[in-house]
Amino acid sequence: MALPPEAIVRLDLGRIWLPHLTMEIPVHGFLIKHPAGAGLVDTGYGTPLELIKDYRPVNASVAEALRQHDVHASDICWVINSHLHFDHCGQNAVFPQAPVYVQRREYERRHKYKDTPAAWLQYAGARFELLDGEREIASGVRVVTTPGHTAGHQSIQIDTTEGPAVMTGDACWTVGMFDGEPPRAGMMEDASTFARSLDKMRRIKPAAVHFCHDNRTWHR
């Protein structure tokens, strides 16, 4: 199934300051208006904001962001986390009815992410679906493994009527990086694996690329 490109809706989920990179970045999730039921890619950071105060978070509610698009949190049928850093899975608990798809390798390493509060992953009703590689989550919606930023990182590929659309997660941060600008140290756990994953996404020959940390969208 190919979705219309406008079925992918970017949600603005605040901003954070990255002390180790001395830069401020926007935080996005994506609502997928799928005819079989709405889905969500990444959930931003959670609350209380005090837990991540070093990152100077600006308040942002994923439920409110969804309401602006006439979608209620309880309408979300599935959630995909690209990875389990705090700014990608922080509001999973808003969707207790939805299975959360994450790579097993990522889930097993969650304790290594000291900045991800345990409570943001261990909430009442949490239902993680652990993946060992690539999988179609809904018709036309696939996860593709893109390690390097973290070992269990995954990106999302969606068939649209204009061609494939990719949601990179943190496997690529910006339009410029997708076009070849080198990533900075501190943006990845393993540089050569990160580079291979970036090439893998380019080989998909996407029509559009959507970023968690860039307000622009890349278009072919």
- CB contact at 8 A, 215 and 172: no
Enumerate binding residues for Zn ion (CB under 5 A).
85, 170
C-alpha distance from residue 210 to each of 19, 123, 132, 190 (Å): 24, 28, 24, 22
Handedness of CA 49, 111, 94, 134 (dihedral sign): positive
With respect to Zn ion, which residue has the nearer C-beta, 34 or 85? Answer: 85
Residues pairing with 80 in the sheet: 41, 101
Task: Give the helix/strand (H/E) hosting 103.
Answer: strand 100-103
Strand partners, 105: none
Q: Is 86 helix (H, G, I), strand (E, B) or coil?
A: helix
Shortest Cβ distance from residue 84 to Zn ion (Å)? 9
Residue 1 or residue 118: which is nearer to Zn ion going by CB?
Answer: 118
Cβ-based nearer residue to Zn ion, 170 or 214: 170
Cα distance between residue 176 and residue 33, in whole Å: 27
Between 142 and 213, CB nearer to Zn ion: 213
Q: Closer CB to Zn ion, residue 106 or residue 170?
A: 170
What's the min distance (Å) between Cβ of 153 and Zn ion? Answer: 8
Output the smallest distance, CB 149 to Zn ion, in A: 6
CB of 177 to Zn ion, least distance (A): 14
Residue nearest to Zn ion (CB): 85
CA separation for the pair 16, 87 (Å, rounded): 9
Q: Least distance in Å: CB of 85 to Zn ion?
A: 3
> How far apart, in whole angstroms, are the C-alpha atoms of residue 188 and residue 142?
23
